[in-house]
């Protein structure tokens, strides 16, 4: 009797691949896709802007023994952007609890690193801000992704037990960070962290008496800085006194306005060649000269759209930690962007602060991308859960 041939075994799809595809689908459904798109748009603008500014910085930093190619900083920037994208997408894939734990550990580690900077840090241009660990690491930059998460975690304790002195703990934390930063010295980062701290504790319901105390401490700190930090005093004096024709801020403003509304064209700028730090602190001025004031206005609108998008997404958020951390990230990111822009417009004293996601940078590029990734992670939301639509009339009730 003839025997039947055995049926072929069904094709087995590896469980790992199915789980990975399912995880990617869930991630894509839950993340804030418009926020991610805006961040990628700014990074694309940054790549073009660094390519425009690279010749100016390469020429200024070249020596007779070693001449840098015109696209030297552009090539390096693409590498840092690649690392930043990896950090952003990895962080955005974390669950909210994992992102919170990672942010707390990162902030704790960077606080320890900040304590080591005065002891074993390397000095550049009179400031000791970097640790040389095989690669140059700036702890203050990597403290930025963890700071809003750590502060929000401490402030959220109040929801569990109102008797915990969370405001006092937060003031002590901010005082420690401010002292460590001013030992470098880094007054710009101190102001940025202080502004983020103020926004978050104000949102958490700080009493009016303590608001006045915080403002008083801030004013006292600025006065002390003015009389003890020569570089900061010189920058404030130059800003208040109008500066000279060859001050950095004055050169930045002249470069910014040189292109008019439509710009002189890519690689056609001339004033950028005399601009120090054209690829970092003053890249906004290079954009203005080569691509015009309209391009600058578009960039400002993109930053405003990012901050607004974050705040609108937090309006209906029920978790106190998420609201505080998300607002802290928005304040920190928006604050850094607009301080840099105001400096380039000669409306604020020079602070040595990069334009996030656009300026060239190693630690700063990766750290900002990591911040965006953690922000996306903590604001992940199941799209199938029905929520009430946001209305402007609800603002009073939320406040």
Q: What is the pLDDT of residues 116-151, one digit of tens each?
A: 888 887 776 666 777 877 677 888 999 999 999 999
What is the percent of the chain where pLDDT is above 90?
42
Is omega for the bond preceding 185 within 30 degrees of 0, making it cis?
A: yes
Q: Provide the pLDDT for residue 16.
A: 44
Would the pLDDT of 398 be above 70?
no
Count of Cβ atoms closer than 10 Å to residue 78 Cβ: 13
- Highest mean pLDDT, choosing among 81-85, 186-190, 280-284: 81-85
What CA–CA distances, in Å, run from 141 to 5, 138, 192, 265?
Answer: 67, 6, 11, 33
Query: How many Cα neighbours within 13 Å face the side chain of 394?
Result: 9
- What secondary structure letter does DSSP report for 124? E
Higher pLDDT, residue 222 or 16: 222
pLDDT band at 392 (very low <50, low <70, confident <90, very high): very low
CA distance 372 to 310: 11
What CA–CA distances, in Å, run from 95 to 90, 213, 221, 328?
Answer: 11, 37, 39, 19
Contact partners, residue 292, CB within 8 Å, separation at least 6: 259, 260, 261, 262, 263
Coil, helix or strand at residue 161? coil
Q: Which contiguous run of DSSP H or E holds residue 131?
A: strand 127-132
Q: Do 337 and 354 contact (CB within 8 A), yes or no?
A: no
Q: What is the pLDDT of residues 151-210, one digit of tens each?
A: 999 998 877 777 788 888 888 999 899 989 888 878 888 889 999 999 998 888 777 677
């Amino acid at each position: 009797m003839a025997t039947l041939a055995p049926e072929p075994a069904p094709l087995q799809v590896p469980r790992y691949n199915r789980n990975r595809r399912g995880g990617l689908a869930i991630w894509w459904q839950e993340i804030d896709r418009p926020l991610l798109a805006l961040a990628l748009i700014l990074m694309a603008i940054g790549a073009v802007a660094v390519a425009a500014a690279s010749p100016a910085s390469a020429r200024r930093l070249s020596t007779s023994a070693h001449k840098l190619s015109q696209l030297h900083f552009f090539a390096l920037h693409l590498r840092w952007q690649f690392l930043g994208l990896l950090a952003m997408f990895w962080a955005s894939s974390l669950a909210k609890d994992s992102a919170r734990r990672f942010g707390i550990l990162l902030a704790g580690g960077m606080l320890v690193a900040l304590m080591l900077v005065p002891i074993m840090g390397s000095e550049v241009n009179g400031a000791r801000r970097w640790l040389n660990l095989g690669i140059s690491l700036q702890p203050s930059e990597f403290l930025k992704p963890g700071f809003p998460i750590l502060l929000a975690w401490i402030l959220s304790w109040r929801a569990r037990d109102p008797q915990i002195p969370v405001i006092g703990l937060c003031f002590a934390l901010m005082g420690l960070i401010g002292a460590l930063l001013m030992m470098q010295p880094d007054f710009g980062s101190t102001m940025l962290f202080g502004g983020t701290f103020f926004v978050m504790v104000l949102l958490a319901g700080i009493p009016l008496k303590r608001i006045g105390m915080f403002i008083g401490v801030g004013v006292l700190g600025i006065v002390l800085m003015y009389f003890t930090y020569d570089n900061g005093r010189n920058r404030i004096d130059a800003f208040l006194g109008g500066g000279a024709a060859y001050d950095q801020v004055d050169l930045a403003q002249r470069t910014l306005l040189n292109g008019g509304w439509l710009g002189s064209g890519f690689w056609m700028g001339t004033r950028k060649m005399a601009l120090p730090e054209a690829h970092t602190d003053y890249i906004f001025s290079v954009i203005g000269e080569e691509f015009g004031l309209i391009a600058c206005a578009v960039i400002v609108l993109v930053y405003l759209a990012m901050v607004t998008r974050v705040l609108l997404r937090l309006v209906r958020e029920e978790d106190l930690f998420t609201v505080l951390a998300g607002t802290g990230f928005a304040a920190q990111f928006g604050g850094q962007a607009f301080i840099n822009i105001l400096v380039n417009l000669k409306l604020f004293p020079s602070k040595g602060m990069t334009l996030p996601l656009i300026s060239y940078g190693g630690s700063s590029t990766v750290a900002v991308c990591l911040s965006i990734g953690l922000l996306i992670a903590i604001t992940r939301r199941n799209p199938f859960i029905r929520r009430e639509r946001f209305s402007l009339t609800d603002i009073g009730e939320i406040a």
